[in-house]
Structure 1
Amino acid sequence: MFVLFKKEKSNRITIRLMIYAISLTGFISFHAWGEFYPVIVSIKTRIESATTATYFFQQGVANIGPISEQIMLPEGWYIALAHRHDGFPGGEDIVVPAVYMQGKKRSIGEAARDLYNQQGSGITKIYHSGKGNGGECIGYVGVENISTPHKWMEAISPVGTCMYVPSGDEWCKIETPELVFDHGVISLRESEGHKATKRLAINCTAGTTLRLYIPGGINSLLFAGKGTSTFSTSQGQLGKPMQLPAGRSNIDITSELHGVGIGKWSTSGVMIVEPV
């Protein structure tokens, strides 16, 4: 939605971020337009034994940009809600599906949304059996077959959409429930390079190395009309590993505008906090 202000030649630009508190994996989601992809928004691991665990999780949909529609699922392939089962020790990682469906050639985004709406959204837990508890990931992926173990390296999915599964005794809590980047009402001339900064607070049980990134390997989000908001942190570019001590840490996140036209704008996307 937008409203033109041709006479005043000014902009009203707001970016709203909801922060989800989850174990060593966080979501910063923006309300807006775009192509959506089902993702895991929280995960908790319950250790059952030395070789078994249950992964409890919640799902949602998020705008990850055009990449969800650019990756094509070949004819006859399956879309699956699955976890990456690590091949301990030294073996190959494989895809272990919880639910799946086969279909025609189409974008992986369309296929994933169909599976999510028909079956996937009701799945809230996955059982793990094998050496190693935690350190795997859960997400919607495309695979050629499901009758035999499918190598993870041959599965397809948008970058960053398989969410890390933490071990049972590691977690970080995101303490800021919401961040709002309000660039206010600014002139067209002022809009280029205009910055707004908000602080993200994270509290970890142990020293942790994390990275923040936007799925798809990008560091900016498009507005519906024209222009972008580019994001950076107080510790450098998105995607750069950052070491956090045990306890509370503050990370400043900055939105910088480029090429924004006249109007009232909002945007959407996902920024992920993930252990390295």
Structure 2
Amino acid sequence: MVDNNSFRLDGKVALITGASYGIGFAIACAYANMGATIVFNDIKQELVEKGLDSYQKLGIKAHGYVCDVTNEAQVQELIKRITEEVGVIDILVNNAGIIKRIPMLDMTAEEFRQVVDVDLNAPFIVSKAVIPGMIKKGHGKIINICSMMSELGRETVSAYAAAKGGLKMLTRNICSEYGEHNIQCNGIGPGYIATPQTAPLRKRQTDGSRHPFDQFIVAKTPAARWGTTDDLMGPAVFLASEASNFVNGHVLYVDGGILAYIGKQP
């Protein structure tokens, strides 16, 4: 028998990194609607202020902090402050990330390292900081925002694909090491999501036709559309809730079916 309350997040403290806007913001709003207390960070004070204003407009009381998630000392201080000021973290969403679309031969080693630092090292650092509190509390949920590039390669995203592939394996390893402590670590792999950042790729051309990349994505997606941030809310709530207590080390791809589809014959 399914208990609807098993999807509720009442009394839970949820930290969503980089959740001033975009996918992280949408996930945080979904958690707030299910009863969780929302905590987020961003790298600059102005982004934190922008995020706090956006949450307030929706009637959500969020707690925002400035923190560089690639800096282990800053992260340890952040978790200490959150524990003291809000409570022990029950749910962590490693959402903060960057991408650099540069052909591999044109990319410097420093640019490659920067992407890996934000997209892979930071989830390791933040997870490491919250796991002791979860162990002490007897439960915890860690959700890593992976990508279809955790499974696929594509031109110009060598660093991003390498980092997201590594994040998939970090997800499985956290499950392996800490599952016995009632900590579930899973991933969400978004497909192509309609956000302000992708808007230029979906803008109609002067002749009214679709942008070539828009045509490509719609043709490759069995759902025949881009995803929305709303499409990520249900999966994110499920993986944060007691309904997923026996789901561990899994990456849930929310991609409209792209990974299952070879494409139409020309």
Q: Which has the higher contact order (CA 8 A, sep 6+)?
A: 1
Structure label with greater radius of gyration: 1
Whose strand proportion is higher, 1 or 2? 1
Normalising TM by the smaller chain, what interval?
under 0.3
The TM-score with structure 2 as length reference comes to 0.26
